[in-house]
Chain A
């Protein structure tokens, strides 16, 4: 199927960081910096941040000329990593990221198209654009959250971003309404709550399955081996789960060094089997 080049490019680049092209920063968005500054004023959170050894300068984000936290794409690609913030390395130093560790282990360039906030659809869109271009031998994906719906958002200034809603039945989703065309929906409201429904099992399961099948097809068409893992598999393979509760990134929300190491070990083992 022939797709217009501009649309294809939107799939490949949406949500990247055009303002940070070829730059290195300690915080990639203002909200990350503000949260850190706020946390450092809260004694209990400050204690945790210091315990993990995070400072305002010991995490650097270096973006390539395409606006991804990755090495340049103009070189041979052995492993292409993809996913959401957990693969982007949100609030995590480069050396601790599972993606970087994996590429270092196999002595290849760190080629990473992960973007924070991605849902399965966003991941699949980027795969659809970049895999045929980069032709990696391996595509390694850490699953984004299942209960997240993503799309491409066109901003007024021309920026092509990634929009998403996530979580289940949160109060903010209940506020997003459409007039109901259905008499007496299950909540008894006269309005539809589309994002409450779109994040129910029937819808998110289909999003996940159809996107995974699409990703597999793209990888197969380009002779790339597709490896996917989710957090449940990592947790199942890990006996000492209590350690993970004490493993956090600088924002005290994303996974820390221990979890990233487990994801790295998982993919390392899978790739070694292929080799």
Chain B
């Protein structure tokens, strides 16, 4: 295998590669340990109950490449990409916006989103998978700006895995590069340059691109702080429903970027 092919393979790798062709019930940050803790605390138990997570099983079914979607052997109409909000951490597929869009359109469900992804990892996966899957449309929900990822050989590492104190202690002489890299001018740069890069990629491959902004879209929802996934960290069913309608509207009206 040539060096450049090896590099491409790393870029296309799922963070959940260890679970290829497997089904699991928990996936960080949606862990059994955290769920048990939340279920015993009256405040957080109430949130679990309100969102319908008490007594509801969630399964994470990974395909042959470690992505939480249908097999890549099936023809690809729409490819979903993004971070955990698109992969569906703490959510069952019947709630997750991307899965519902595929169901509604009666097409195979292809999703290369991974939890913890930043702009670089999102676009790296697209570089690898677009020429292989050849979707007609990519639906990309933007990952957070304040995040910077890299590869430790074939393992993805992200600033989101470390707390502020740890990032502050990572120093080059007097500077704190990982704090700088994730903030302000640098974070916006990744958003700007990588979104242009993704547009170029789609254009080169004759693929339509639909974008969904990062964060919550349903700003009118007064209960948004209470609308949560099972890990009580990611967006919950109400926001998923809103994003589902938002993406579907854009697809049906061909609102391409």
A residues sitting closer than 8 Å to B (CB atoms) are 1, 3-4, 7, 10-11, 14, 121, 124-125, 128, 151-154, 160, 163, 165, 176-179, 181-182, 185-186, 192, 194-195, 197-198, 200-203, 205-206, 209-211, 213-214, 217-218
Contacts and interface: CB of A to CB of B under 8 A. Distances in A.
Contacts of B196: 1, 214, 217-218
B157 A194 contact: yes
B166 A163 contact: no
Contacts of B183: 154
A10 to B, nearest CB: 4
24 contacts: A1-B191, A7-B184, A152-B180, A154-B183, A163-B175, A165-B172, A176-B171, A177-B169, A186-B152, A194-B157, A197-B152, A202-B10, A202-B11, A205-B7, A206-B7, A206-B11, A206-B124, A206-B127, A209-B127, A210-B120, A210-B123, A210-B193, A217-B196, A217-B200
Contacts of B157: 181-182, 192, 194, 197
Nearest to A181: B161
Contacts of B200: 213, 217
B249 interface: no
Interface size class of B (residues with CB under 8 A): 35 or more
Most chain B CB within a 10 A radius of its CB, from A153, A197, A200 = A153
Contacts of B171: 176
A210 B190 CA distance: 10
A162 B31 CA distance: 40
B175 A128 contact: no
Interface in B118-154: 120, 123-124, 127, 150-153
B71 interface: no
B177 A151 contact: yes
Contacts of B151: 197, 200, 202-203
Contacts of B124: 206
Contacts of A4: 188
B193 A7 contact: no
Given A1-B192, A178-B162, A182-B152, A7 B185 contact: yes
B195 interface: yes
B153 A3 contact: no
A128 B189 CA distance: 10
A7 B188 contact: yes
Interface string B33-56: 000000000000000000000000
Interface in B165-224: 166-167, 169-172, 175, 177-178, 180-181, 183-186, 188-189, 191-197, 199-200
A153 B180 contact: yes
Nearest to A125: B189
A213 B197 CA distance: 6
Contacts of A124: 193
A209 B193 CA distance: 11
Given A151-B181, A154-B184, 7 more contacts: A11-B185, A154-B180, A181-B157, A201-B7, A202-B153, A206-B127, A214-B197
B3 interface: yes
B22 interface: no
